[in-house]
Amino acid sequence: MGRWIIGPGDEMIFVYMVGTAGSGKSSLTGAFHDWCLRQEFDAITVNLDPGVVNLPYAPDVDVREWISLDEVMKEYGLGPNGAQVVCADMVALNAKEVEERIKEYRTDYVLIDTPGQLELFVFRSTGKVFIDQLDAGHSLLAFVIDPSLATTPTNFVSQLMLSSITQFRMSVPLVNILSKMDIVDKDALEMILEWGKDPEKLYGDLMVKSPSMYYQLSEGLMTVIKGMEAHTSLMPISNKTLEGMENFYTSIQNTFMGGEDLDRE
């Protein structure tokens, strides 16, 4: 495989897969990694979830080398949820060690699979610590949305709000990924994508579906979403067929390279 140059100084690009539990972050990490290798782009995968049991890919760097959820549960006498919180803080403390392991690779793309629970990475210090430690200037968030949780206007807006809050807290570029496009029927998929492209359509449908007592709240949420520019077209992706991966790659290139492709050495 040939080396690829991404720009001055050969800076790595860090792509963080974030989203709610079960949204498809790990599957996207593995699928996009496979796609990159097929295109002869150098990429590695990083797992930041110390509690995950099975992964659909073999991580090149794995936080489980340093932290074990089971051991934390035993040592501190905690249940799974409490142990996950402790582990999240421990992951942040091991950011330097993870960075050093990543730097052992000469690679262009670092695909980072974040913990299953969104709040552990976004609402605690873990996410910000990692992004700042590795390189905030070359980081991008891929907010992964499960289409089955976005088939109504209310659910769709809820996902966009989570995406907005994530970008607000992390302060780096973000793209919204509609994962598992295979699991919803064609009509539902088209409606979700239409909402993503046409905020007025979404607003109209939201007002129809929302009870009158929620009118002011719904209107306020739409104002926030528009103001934060989080209402962008969603990018549908199939982790099975790899459909949409090229669009994902292009969005990364547009963010950091102004749309210029990689040049082979």
Q: Which domains does the chain have, with CATH numbers?
A: 11-151+169-183+233-259 (3.40.50.300)
Show the tokens assigned to 42. 């150098």
> pLDDT tens for residues 7-49?
433 589 999 999 999 999 999 999 999 999 999 999 999 999 9
Per the model's pLDDT, the better-predicted residue between 30 and 207 turns out to be 30
- The mean pLDDT of the chain is 87
User: How far apart are alpha carbons 222 and 12 in whole angstroms?
Assistant: 35
* Cβ neighbours of 180 (radius 10 Å): 22
Band (1; pLDDT cuts 50, 70, 90): very low
> pLDDT tens for residues 128-141?
999 999 999 999 99
pTM, 2 dp: 0.89
Q: In this predicted structure, what is the pLDDT of residue 4?
A: 36
* Cβ neighbours of 265 (radius 10 Å): 8
What mean pLDDT comes out for the span 167-186?
91
Alpha-carbon distance values, 96 to 38, 93, 102, 142, 209 (Å) = 30, 8, 10, 23, 48
Task: Tell me if residue 140 falls in helix, strand or coil.
Answer: strand
User: How far apart are alpha carbons 188 and 183 in whole angstroms?
Assistant: 10
> pLDDT tens for residues 223-258?
777 776 666 678 999 999 999 999 999 999 999 876
Show the tokens assigned to 262. 């990689």
